[in-house]
Structure 1
Amino acid sequence: MKKQPQVTEQTRANLRQAFWELYAERPVERISVREITDRAGYNRATFYLYYHDVYELLEEIEDTVLGNIERLVQGRLLQGDTLDFSQHMGLILRLAQRSRDYTRVLLGPHGDPAFSDRLKQIISPLVDRFFLPEAGLDEGASGIVREFYLSGILAIIRTWTADDDPMPIDQLIQLVMRIVQ
């Protein structure tokens, strides 16, 4: 018997939501398939129809969030878009805001450090384009400066998305631009 696509996607969405509620509370290694399926209202076998384990489910969520940011960076920055750094920061922050429920957890205390590393790789072309050429640094020094800026940007996003009443994006961008220039 063939599964209906709408039912399949709804089941996946329910499993993701149940997992996400648990992941917001504690690290992935302390979440069991049983807890996810109990919360979602399915049996364990249903989970294994869609996912190998909880790590695959987490990776799917991370890939979705990172994919949105990567499409933005690739589509605008690397194809010669004329937006300046503050406009790119605004776009990234708007994406972070749209997926705030995910971003605040993925970059938070229970988050996977690999997510932060992958996010840095995606946004590093921004730093390469807007800061490193002007600095005239050798390769070793450029790597250090790149990491400095990327870590700072991630810390800003982490702190901003964790705030229950975050400052407006435009005000945050002005603050960041004052810091980096």
Structure 2
Amino acid sequence: MSKKTDLRILRTKQSIRKAWIELIQEKGYEAITIQDIADRAMINRNTFYLHYENKPDLLNTYMDELLSELKNAVVLCPISMNTYSISILETVMQTILEHISHNTSFYYAMLIEENRIYPFREKMENIIKDKLNERWNPAAGNPPLAISKELLLEYLVSSFMGTIIWWVKNDLPLPAGEVASQFSRLVAYGHLKAAGIAYEE
């Protein structure tokens, strides 16, 4: 009996979240009402309130769950403290993109310009920044960087987010592994060299 109840609750929550994401894409977060969500999910308002206090509670609960999954996946990416290679950037990017590919509608709703939710992007950027910052932990005994570490991290995180948003906005036009590979080469070699364009210094 308990298992049946749990499955019913799970299905209801999935219906609510699916309806909510669809409505964000159609109307934008601010314009959505609880009644809109209930109607789309084919439940009554009281059922919604059994699971979530209000619209911000639904947003924060789902954001936290997805970002926790993303963080757990990124944390597992190996980073060597002794050497640096483009494979580090490639691994982190591919991990993020593969996670997004299983939750594309949600990430589209959270990140794309027309509907984006700013706190979500900021939290996502912090997950990436924290992971990349592991590489320059002073305890690793590495020599000092030739440029500001803060500037480097901002540059890398901005590059990550720009690539991710392009990928999601354009309906995942390339496989995650290919995007990750091209991204890591762009960062490591610069856009001209990575693209095979002849240039003069």
Shorter chain as normaliser: what TM range? Answer: 0.7 to 0.9
Contact 2:75 2:131 in 1 (8 A): no
The TM-score with structure 1 as length reference comes to 0.84
**Which amino acid is 1:33 matched to?**
I
In 2: Cα distance, 1:135 partner to 1:92 partner: 28
5+ long unaligned stretches in structure 1: none
Taking the aligned partners of 1:8 and 1:151, their CA distance within structure 2 comes to 39
Matching residue of 2:94: 90
Is 1:119 aligned with 2:128? no
Q: Give the partner amino acid of 1:56.
A: D
Contact 1:77 1:126 in 2 (8 A): no
Give aligned pairs, total.
Answer: 177
Instruction: Return the letter of the residue paired with 1:54.
Output: K
1: distance between equivalents of 2:136 and 2:175? 25
What secondary structure does 1:128 align onto?
Answer: helix
Whether 2:165 is the aligned partner of 1:158: answer yes
Tell whether the 8 Å contact from 2:80 to 2:135 is kept in structure 1 after alignment: no
Superposition map of 1:135-150 within 5 A: 136=145, 141-150=148-157
Structure 2 residue matching 1:4: 3-state secondary structure = helix
Residues in 2 aligned to 1:31 and 1:65: alpha-carbon distance in whole angstroms: 21
Q: Secondary structure at the match of 1:76?
A: coil
CA drift of 1:93 comes to 1.5
AA partner of residue 160 (structure 2)? I
Deviations 1:34-55 (A, max 9, x none): 1111111222122111111111
Which of these two proteins has the greater Rg computed from alpha carbons? 2
Q: Percent identity?
A: 24
Q: 1:134 to 1:51 in 2, by over 3 A?
A: farther
Partner residue in 1 for 2:191: none
1:1-20 equivalences under 5 Å are 4-20=5-21
Of stretches 127-136 and 17-26 in structure 1, the one that deviates more from structure 2 is: 127-136
Deviation at 1:178, TM superposition (A): 2.1
Name the CA shift for 1:135/1:99 in 2 (closer, same or farther; >3 Å).
farther
- Asked if structure 2 preserves the Cα contact closer than 8 Å seen for 1:85 and 1:126, the reply is no
CA contact (8 A) 1:37 1:47 kept: yes
**Paired residue type of 1:136:** L
**Which letter maps to 1:115?**
F
Assess if the C-alpha contact under 8 Å between 2:110 and 2:120 holds in 1: yes
Q: How does 1:1-181 map to 2 (within 5 A)?
A: 4-77=5-78, 84-109=88-113, 110-130=115-135, 136=145, 141-164=148-171, 166-181=173-188
Residue 31 of structure 1 deviates from its aligned partner by 0.5
* 1:76 to 1:174, Cα distance in 2 relative to 1, 3 A: closer
Contact 2:79 2:135 in 1 (8 A): no
What is the TM-score when the length of structure 2 is the normalising length? 0.76
